[in-house]
Chains A and B, each alone.
Chain A
Amino acid sequence: MATIAPSPPATIDLDVRRLPRTLPWYIEVWGQMLRRKPLGTLGALIVMGMLFLAIFAHALTPYGFAETNLRERFISGSATHWLGTDQIGRDVATRILYGARISLYVGFGAIAIASVIATLLGIFCAYWGGRVDMLLQRAVDAWMAFPGLLILMSIMSLLGPSVLNITLVLGIAAGIRESRIIRGVALSIRENTYIESARAMGSGHVRVTLVHILPNVVPTIIVVATTGLSTVILTEASLSFLGLGVPPPHPTWGGMLSLGGLDHMYRAPWLAIWPATALSLAVFGFNMLGDALRDLLDPRLKGG
């Protein structure tokens, strides 16, 4: 009887050290941005420029943001006041720079809060599922049925305008809204076989969530946060415009444009033009950066 000799186990000649080195995705994405996304690169440059101006605002201008000079009112632009002065002689350029600081402070603060809420709520709902998820999702539905600005205006008028209040309110509101997206992504990740095998190998719920689900949600969180930033900055400006956001004397772009100063703008149109330009440029930068990051990191979210 012929016996079949057992074939030797197949060996793959694989030496990990000889594989081409790949950069981690969070570094790789910037190289791709430079090569493939000119508008995204432009957006990133605008955002970095804005960060620079905001951080070094106090060093870049000799004036204080609330410093008045009644002898130099309504100057339309000069060697000492590049973008002119307003009705009580405050330097417009200075106020734009400090306005960038407030916008970014509120923007990043609110988005940090929103990301934490969205991640916790989204992953929890997706992983737990069942009736708890159903109930929480109906609450999210109810929240999303509100016209955003109306309910935010209501809350802000009751709490009173302050930097802390608006950051918290915008953060919580955006967090609830964004949890929907994180939940969707986490739901599809949960269905993967590696989650099942991790469970089979005895990993607890906490370990599965933190080690296997969370890292895969991170790119989505980054995309949602970047696109959310422009919305938050715009909403803060709308609320400050109505006098419900950041209170004076803090300079904000929305507040500088607001109706209270309309009479002065007829005399000094630059009081309207510069804050509007700064706000548009910032929103443009964050939009382009967010779009490009979305295309590179998570194309599933496109078309939303």
Chain B
Amino acid sequence: MKRYILHRLALAVPTLVLVSVIVFSIMRLMPGDVVIRMVEGHAYAPTVAALRAELGLDRPAYVQYFEWVGGILLRGDFGSSYWTRQPIWDEFISRFPVTLGLAALTILSSVVIGVVVGIVSASRQDSAADYIGRIVAILALSIPYFGLAVLVVVLPSIYFKWTPVYTYVPFSTDPLQNLKILIVPALVFGVTRAGPIMRIMRSALLDILRQDYIRTAWSKGLPERAIVLRHALKNAMIPVVSLIGLQMPLYIGGSVIIEAIFRLPGVGLFFFDALMRMDYPVVQSVNLIVATMVVGLNLAIDLSYAFLDPRIRYR
């Protein structure tokens, strides 16, 4: 187990190096010079050349790359925003709880909906409930979350005089209010992501319910509830968990849009604002941090298989 973790960590290193090279090159190779805009539109410095020198953009690209990566590795310094000169890491950390709360609630709601409907669908195969569940799953799969979010913002305010809460309250100040703010965006996002979970839960559980040990459990006279929930469910969760892992980038990418619609001051909004102002260091570092998190999460998910199915051993 320990060796497996070390092996996976060693494999992650070249991946992350490549990630940093890719994101750095993209930022440098593309046209569109933010410095000109900063000088001409906002008078950040007397001349373009002066500002380029101040930001260190007049040096060769490889020097800039090693300075960026070196700062991260040696000092934990992800650089500063061009516009505000604030350290990126501080801003990221202060906004991270919002995004984390949103992501946790989204995943929770999509898993709860997906797993419950999946269980009903599989244990009552070909019943009316099964068909309804499957149709709902297909619909959920097809409705784009930002479309649903716009409808949830617009329609109830017209017909029921209800609007989502827009002033954000941190969890530490008022947990209940925080939950009230996050639950609507999380549900909107979670419902659309529940579709694939529902479908994979159903097919995995159907597969498990036909196995010998389940027949043994039936013949022992166990009630259906115990068979499905205690014997079958845990084994059927493996594909569900790996699906959530595969979809992690979708949850993170989608949070940019959800945060923009519901005006949540999270990492997604930070990233989007930076993008609009061509604040390269922010865009570059946030991309790298998030990619690192995705790599780490995938490792964690691979390790969770051993918990779900003790037959799985790591070598």
Interface residues in chain A, defined as those with a beta carbon under 8 Å from any beta carbon in chain B: 39, 138-139, 141-143, 145-151, 153-155, 157-160, 234, 237-238, 241-242, 244, 254, 257, 259, 262, 265-266, 269, 272-273, 275-276, 279-281, 283-284, 287-288, 303
Contacts and interface: CB of A to CB of B under 8 A. Distances in A.
Contact of B31 (A159, A281, A303): A159
Contact of B290 (A150, A234, A262): A150
Contact of A158 (B16, B32, B143): B32
Nearest to B263: A259
A242 B104 CA distance: 24
Nearest to A139: B18
B31 A142 contact: no
B32 A160 contact: yes
Contact size class for B? 35 or more
A155 B26 CA distance: 7
B148 interface: yes
Contacts of B148: 276
B19 interface: yes
A145 B141 contact: no
B36 to A, nearest CB: 14
Contact of A157 (B14, B16, B276): B276
Given A143-B22, A303-B239, A158 B271 contact: no
B146 to A, nearest CB: 5
B142 A153 contact: no
Contacts of A283: 141-144
B226 interface: no
Interface string B1-25: 0000000000000111011001100
Contact of B203 (A262, A276, A287, A303): A303
A151 to B, nearest CB: 6
Given A142-B19, A142-B22, A148-B250, A276 B158 contact: no
A272 B26 CA distance: 34
Contacts, number: 148
- Dominant secondary structure of chain B at its interface with chain A: helix
A279 B144 contact: yes
A68 to B, nearest CB: 23
A147 B290 contact: yes
29 contacts: A138-B18, A139-B18, A141-B15, A141-B18, A145-B291, A146-B22, A146-B291, A147-B253, A147-B291, A149-B256, A150-B253, A150-B290, A151-B287, A154-B27, A154-B287, A157-B283, A158-B26, A159-B31, A160-B31, A237-B146, A257-B146, A259-B260, A276-B150, A279-B147, A280-B142, A280-B144, A280-B147, A281-B142, A288-B138
A242 B143 CA distance: 17
B102 interface: no
Given A141-B18, A149-B256, A151-B23, 16 more contacts: A145-B19, A149-B249, A149-B250, A149-B252, A154-B287, A234-B144, A238-B257, A269-B158, A272-B150, A273-B151, A280-B143, A280-B144, A283-B141, A303-B200, A303-B203, A303-B239
A219 to B, nearest CB: 22
B140 to A, nearest CB: 10
B192 to A, nearest CB: 10
B275 A157 contact: yes
Contact of A145 (B30, B143, B295): B295
A257 B150 contact: yes
Interface in B31-71: 31-32
Contact of A146 (B19, B150, B239, B257): B19
Interface of B: 14-16, 18-19, 22-23, 26-27, 30-32, 138-139, 141-144, 146-148, 150-151, 153-155, 157-158, 200, 203, 239, 248-250, 252-254, 256-257, 260-261, 271-272, 275-276, 278, 283, 286-287, 290-291, 294-295
Contacts of A281: 142
Given A147-B253, A150-B253, A159 B30 contact: yes
A142 B290 contact: no
A241 B256 contact: no
A262 B26 contact: no
A242 B271 contact: no
Given A138-B18, A272-B151, A303-B203, A154 B253 contact: no
B257 A265 contact: no
A141 B271 CA distance: 23
A262 B261 CA distance: 10
